[in-house]
Amino acid sequence: GALVLEMGGMLQHGAIVSREYGLPAVVGVANAKNIFHNGQFIQVNGSNGRIKILSNE
């Protein structure tokens, strides 16, 4: 699992919870709700902030 957020920063609640659970997170992704859709497989790299769409199922 991972977390992708449109707004906020690394001190936002979602980002803090992702750190507690050891999940990668990328914050500040403009238009994330329009770019990513249910059923898609994505790869999230929390270290460099990159998100890659793996499939458009």
Which of 1, 9, 11, 13 is flagged as catalytic? 13
Give residue-wise pLDDT tens across range 37-47: 998 999 999 99
Amino acid identity for residue 16 in this structure: I
Q: Which fold has domain 3-55?
A: Glucose Oxidase; domain 1 (3.50.30)
Q: For the chain, what are the domain ranges?
A: 3-55
Q: Is 37 considered catalytic here?
A: no
What one-character-per-residue DSSP string does the chain give? --EEESS--TTSHHHHHHHHHT--EEE--TTHHHH--TT-EEEEETTTTEEEEEE--
Q: How confident is the model at residue 51 (pLDDT cuts 50, 70, 90)?
A: very high
Query: Is the CB of residue 14 less than 8 Å from the CB of residue 29?
Result: no
Report the pLDDT averaged over residues 48-52: 95
- How high does pLDDT run on average in the chain? 91
